[in-house]
Amino acid sequence: MLFRRAFKDSIPVLMGYSTMGFASGLLLAVGGAISWSPLWAAATSAAFVSGPLQYIFVDWMATSLAIGSVLLVTLCVNFRYSLYGLSLIERFQGASLWKKAYLIGTITDETYALQMACDLKGGTYVTYCLFLTMLDHLYWICGVTAGAVVGVLAQGAFSPEKVAAATQGIDFAMTALFLVILADLLRNAANRLPALIGLVAALVAVFVFGKGGMLIPAISLIVAAFLAFRRWLDGK
């Protein structure tokens, strides 16, 4: 019964993760310039559990971005997750260590929202959350891997050149994903100034250092601006 409830609640996530995952897997196969892409798709989707990181992983593979920049981007994109756990600490109390370790390690915006919306208590709640988290995690891994498998099969059936020509422009899905996340964040007035700071810092950094070298300067500028303007930005 708990499983059925978790499955029913997770259906919107199934639609989103399988489609977005599929597109990122396809991108990796077509544009990631790496052999055995389905294997990398499965491993990275299981370990990162993040849409933005999964898309930008393709860019990293294509450009071999320095690991320092890679880690800094990861830190900035996923820092908010470190705050999600806090609101769940008390509700997960009593769960065994490995259950907690799994629940916490795979949390996403969507899973978090569903977990916060659930009114169950105690052990039942933890079991529900486990089902939900496993389902969401599985949708994501299957979506990404299936995309890469289809990409590789298509390259085998036709030719890499033909597949590249047919899918030309599909990499805009990454830009579109970030634009959608940004549009949603900007609904909340408190996010507008931080977003503007990110925009200005990134523009300055890209004009000075170019695309390949912009990320670390941009992030440094953003953090410096946050510390300098905290008085105005920190509306509690």
Alpha carbon 70 to chain centroid, angstroms: 14
Asked if 169 is part of the footprint of another protein (rule: CB under 8 A), the reply reads yes
Asked if 104 is part of the footprint of another protein (rule: CB under 8 A), the reply reads yes
- Binding residue (CB under 8 A) for another protein from 7, 11, 64, 220: 64
Whole-angstrom distance, CA of residue 182 vs CA of residue 15 = 21
Span from 2-10, 51-59, 118-126, 143-151 in contact with another protein (CB under 8 A): 51-59
Asked if 70 is part of the footprint of another protein (rule: CB under 8 A), the reply reads yes
- Binding residue (CB under 8 A) for another protein from 203, 208, 224, 228: 203
Q: Which is nearer to another protein, 1 or 97 (CB)?
A: 97
26 contacts 167 by C-beta, under 8 angstroms: yes
Span from 127-135, 138-146, 147-155, 194-202 in contact with another protein (CB under 8 A): 194-202
Strand boundaries in the chain, DSSP class E: none
Q: State how far the alpha carbon of 106 is from the alpha carbons of 99, 109, 161, 197, in Å.
A: 11, 10, 36, 29
Sign of the CA dihedral with 82 first, then 84, 87, and 89 last: negative
Span from 1-9, 117-125, 141-149, 216-224 in contact with another protein (CB under 8 A): 216-224
